[in-house]
Structure 1
Amino acid sequence: MLLTVTPNPSLDRTYEIPAIERGGVLRATAERMDPGGKGVNVSRAVAAAGHRTVAVLPLGGAPGALVADLLAGQGIEVARVPVAGATRSNIALAEPDGTLTKINAPGPELTAAESESLLSTIRSHAGSAAWIACCGSLPRGLGADWYAELVARVHRAGTRIALDTSGPSLLAALRERPDVVKPNAEELGQAVGRPLATVGDAVKAAEELRGQGAGAVLASLGADGQLLVSAAGTYFGFARVAAVRSNVGAGDASLAGFLAAGGDGAGALAAAVAHGAAAVQLPGSVMPSPADLEPSAVTVTTDVPLDRPLTEPVP
């Protein structure tokens, strides 16, 4: 069983439009409504692969109830932590060329009691989980060290933890030695405080995060592929993609594939790349099923192209 934690979940509405016209009336050609949040997406991808997953979520108001209903309809167990504030609603506008414009609401402010209830709920489910994936930004009311406290409690329960967050909360959590951290290129550059221009720059940055406490670093480099830097070595993976339709949740699908494949080594990285490549070819935040995966399109190697410039360098 894979347990996911999403401290700031959402109800996501995605509209496909011909183009954005400021001040005009935009007519959508298609629309979707999905339960949202990075950990939620990981659970959705795990469930789509036929594995059991439990999503721990602070939920409030009508949007929160709808998120729980949508997840239940996808076969995902929800460990609901009631909160007074309403769960946030986000909007994404997807254009035919793959450009995505997102409006993310701030979400509710959690009280100290709600924060402790969330931590206690996670702890009560930790013992039966093979992995715990803790993902996304923290809601108002939770300090930057909240993830660090969570990692410490999970490790005391003897469970492995993967952390997908950024900024001060990522840096604070490193001291508690999370088993895996999953930054994208921008988050990786922010964590080390310098620009990343090449794949080699990203490798060095990942090595620094390991030096600060991360057991392994699974780094998404967008169109350039993915890196896995761990005690076992450094691997580089990439896949052929025919066309990008939406990159919403692609990193979350990658993390789901990685953990479902064991969370370590070349095989897990190959699964991560396959899931991410499949996700970007699907609409909105649809998570890939096994039928969507193309393992033959994936290449994983220890011959890392250190001098290759990043398509989107981190300033």
Structure 2
Amino acid sequence: MILTVTPNPSLDRTYELPGVVRGAVLRATADRVDPGGKGVNVARAVAAAGHRTVAVAPMGGPEGALLARLLGELGIEAAGVPITGSTRVNVTLVEPDGTLTKINAAGPELSADEAEGVFDAVRSRSSTADWIACCGSLPRGLAPEWYAELVARSHRAGARIALDTSGDALTAALAGGPDVIKPNALELAEAVGRPLGTVGDVLKAAEELRERGARSVLASLGADGQLLVEASGAYFATARVDAVRSNVGAGDASLAGFLTAGGRGPGALASAVAHGAAAVRLAGSLMPAPADLDPTSVVTTSHVPLDRALTEPAP
């Protein structure tokens, strides 16, 4: 069972448009609403793969009620923590060539009691969890050290922690030894304070974060693939994707694939890449089911291509 923690969940509304023109009235060719937030997306991908998952998240207002209902319809147990504010609504505009324009709302401000309520919800449900996936930005009201405290409490309870966040929240949590962190290239560059232009640069940065406490690093490099650095060594994997429809939630699907495959080693990395590649072929923030996966398209190696330039270097 994968327990997910999403401190700042959302409803994600996606509109497919023939084009985006400022100041014009735009008519969508398709639209959908999905439960959102990085941890919620991980839970959706875990459920789509046929595994049990529980989604812990603060939920408030009619938006929070809709979020809980949508999760239930997907077979996900929603462990909602009641809050005074309303769950945020994010909007994504998708153009025919795959260009995305995202509008992310700030979300509600959590009180100290509401933040403690999230800790309590995790504690009461973590005894049967194989992994706790803590994902996404922190809402207003939570200090950058909030994830660090969650990692510490969860480790004391004997749980394994996967952390997918960025900035001060990521760096503050490193000393607590999260079992795996999942930064993208930009987040990794920010954490080490220098630009990353090659896969070798990414490897050095991942090793640095391991020295600072992370037990393993699963680095997402977009179209260039993914790099896993752990105690057993470093592994690199790529997958062929002929057409990208939407990359919203692809990293979250990737983390779900990694954790449901055991959360370590080249096999889990291959699963992560297969899930991420499948997600970008789907509309909006849809999560891939087993039928969407193409494991044969994934190439995994322990010979990391150090000199390979990143398609999108991290400044």
Deviation per CA, 1:41-62, whole angstroms, max 9, x where unpaired? 0000000011000000100000
Deviation per CA, 1:212-247, whole angstroms, max 9, x where unpaired? 000000000000000000001000000000100000
Q: Which amino acid aligns with 2:293?
A: L
1:71 counterpart residue number: 71
2:20 counterpart residue number: 20
Are 1:94 and 2:94 counterparts? yes
2:49 counterpart residue number: 49
Q: Which amino acid aligns with 2:216?
A: A
Q: Which amino acid aligns with 2:72?
A: A
Deviation per CA, 1:194-215, whole angstroms, max 9, x where unpaired? 0000000000000000000000
1:241 counterpart residue number: 241
2:127 counterpart residue number: 127
2:268 counterpart residue number: 268
2:186 counterpart residue number: 186
Question: TM-score, normalising length from structure 1?
Answer: 1.00
Structure 1 runs not aligned, ≥5 long = none
C-alpha distance in 2, partners of 1:181/1:9?
A: 19
What are the equivalent positions in structure 2 for 1:202-217 lying under 5 Å apart? 202-217=202-217
2:166 counterpart residue number: 166
C-alpha distance in 2, partners of 1:248/1:58?
A: 22
C-alpha distance in 2, partners of 1:26/1:80?
A: 35
Q: Which amino acid aligns with 1:221?
A: L
C-alpha distance in 1, partners of 2:68/2:79?
A: 9
Deviation per CA, 1:15-45, whole angstroms, max 9, x where unpaired? 0001110111111100010000000000000
Q: Which amino acid aligns with 1:126?
A: S
Give the secondary structure class of the aligned counterpart of 2:311: strand
Give the secondary structure class of the aligned counterpart of 1:64: helix
Give the secondary structure class of the aligned counterpart of 1:3: strand
C-alpha distance in 1, partners of 2:26/2:202?
A: 39
1:105 counterpart residue number: 105
Are 1:219 and 2:222 counterparts? no
- 1:72 Cα deviation (Å)? 0.1
C-alpha distance in 2, partners of 1:61/1:228?
A: 40
C-alpha distance in 2, partners of 1:116/1:75?
A: 26
C-alpha distance in 1, partners of 2:143/2:253?
A: 27
Question: TM-score, normalising length from structure 2?
Answer: 1.00
Between stretches 17-26 and 161-170, larger displacement belongs to 17-26
C-alpha distance in 2, partners of 1:268/1:98?
A: 28
Task: Report sequence identity in percent.
Answer: 72
Give the secondary structure class of the aligned counterpart of 2:78: strand
- 1:67 Cα deviation (Å)? 0.3
- 1:126 Cα deviation (Å)? 1.3
1:256 counterpart residue number: 256
Give the secondary structure class of the aligned counterpart of 1:190: helix
Deviation per CA, 1:153-177, whole angstroms, max 9, x where unpaired? 0001101000000000000000100
Q: Which amino acid aligns with 2:46?
A: V
Are 1:59 and 2:59 counterparts? yes
C-alpha distance in 2, partners of 1:307/1:87?
A: 44
4+ residue segments displaced more than 2 Å: none
CA RMSD in angstroms, aligned pairs only: 0.4
C-alpha distance in 2, partners of 1:133/1:179?
A: 10
1:310 counterpart residue number: 310
Q: Which amino acid aligns with 2:60?
A: G
Are 1:3 and 2:3 counterparts? yes
C-alpha distance in 2, partners of 1:235/1:97?
A: 32
2:294 counterpart residue number: 294
